[in-house]
A and B are shown apart, each in its own frame.
Chain A
């Protein structure tokens, strides 16, 4: 057991999770009606889905290697795949099913592709669908979130000496606590890095630092007790 590494990994993982949540295109309930940009669900559902997939891939890789980069990156890739499929199928249903054009409500032009948003935006709405910039932002967010989740998982398995199942559920708990705190910071909906709410990130980082510190101390108690109990 290595207490300093446990604390560092959990805090870094929590902060990466927080940044990841700020980058995901979360639309919430308005997006389900097509009146806000993003995926039509809340932060916690979206990040739980991404984190679970990331933890599955990370735990699979952790069985064959103990390289921190391989485990963390595989978690990141799992999260990215999950979020990419979610956003892609959501966009398919929006464009092909209900006939909505993916448009951001925060900017007049796509910062990456330069496509015009303003003339396609339905009046009285806050944008709709998942445009290119939000998709890309979401992928970066899923990468960071998955990386953070897998880093927490790695530290629990290899530094705290937990088994895979215990590490998985504890990592999920820490990830969720951080993700929900970040979600409260953005007030439920965000479009990506081009959203003005992204500027609120520093205070979420402070909040997640404190929150991760608390979780890391709880985990440290368990990690301290496990070898004494002969497990």
Chain B
């Protein structure tokens, strides 16, 4: 499964390390709501990459329903857990930052139960289902919280309700986060699927979501929005170019067909 592992040095980007790094960084970024939108966008991209990695691990065993289902499942649980965590600041004034932690714990419980149900009740033969589902739901929750936080300035439910949910942006966040997690493996799957190519595609989709959020943000906060658009645009272009180059390099052969020829 793992491709070019260099045995001599530590693989910082193995699945476990990537999961720990991205979840910890995203959580820290989500807790400090006063950070600029650009930093939050980096947390968002990290969360999406973490989710895409989990999708890759689970869907590798074959789900039977197509890869998109697992992304939808993750965001389905993720959004309810995120809402529950976002509501925490309404309950207690002090220590409101615990909302993120509550969300993550709830998402982990939800993912654990769903994984156990899938393995024990539905008899799915996927050994990594429970751990993968936990990682996936945490990533889904974090991406919802961070994306809402970019638009509303905070993830407290009273603010999010006005500027994210009532405006309908939650639907864009929902589906773009889901696509960021499910699409990379869905697009790259096959016997020649390589982890670096899949993850680069998820970075590309994550920056696309930040770009969209930046377009909305620029009407409220000109400087923050402009920086967000610029940075996510740069990441998008770079990751897209890297993805195309990797695809060409990892392909057996790339043949130009030219324009479509007409029959004479």
Contact = CB atoms under 8 A, between A and B. Distances in A.
Contacts of B83: 166, 170, 218-219, 222
A103 interface: no
A181 B65 contact: no
Given A215-B77, A231-B161, A165 B168 contact: yes
Given A180-B76, A188-B63, A214 B124 contact: no
B190 to A, nearest CB: 14
Interface of B is mostly: helix
A64 to B, nearest CB: 20
A112 interface: no
A168 to B, nearest CB: 9
Given A184-B69, A218-B110, A225-B91, A169 B79 contact: yes
Nearest to B116: A210
Contacts of B78: 173
B11 interface: no
Interface residues of B, number: 44
Nearest to B171: A169
Contacts of B165: 163, 165-166, 169
Given A173-B77, A221-B87, A42 B66 contact: yes
Interface string B63-74: 111101110110
Contacts of B90: 225-226, 228-229, 231
Nearest to B71: A44
Given A170-B80, A210-B113, A225-B87, A180 B166 contact: no
Nearest to B117: A207
A173 B174 CA distance: 9
Given A207-B117, A218-B83, A229-B158, A184 B174 contact: no
B75 A184 contact: no
Contact of A180 (B73, B113, B161): B73
A177 interface: yes
A211 interface: yes
B81 interface: yes
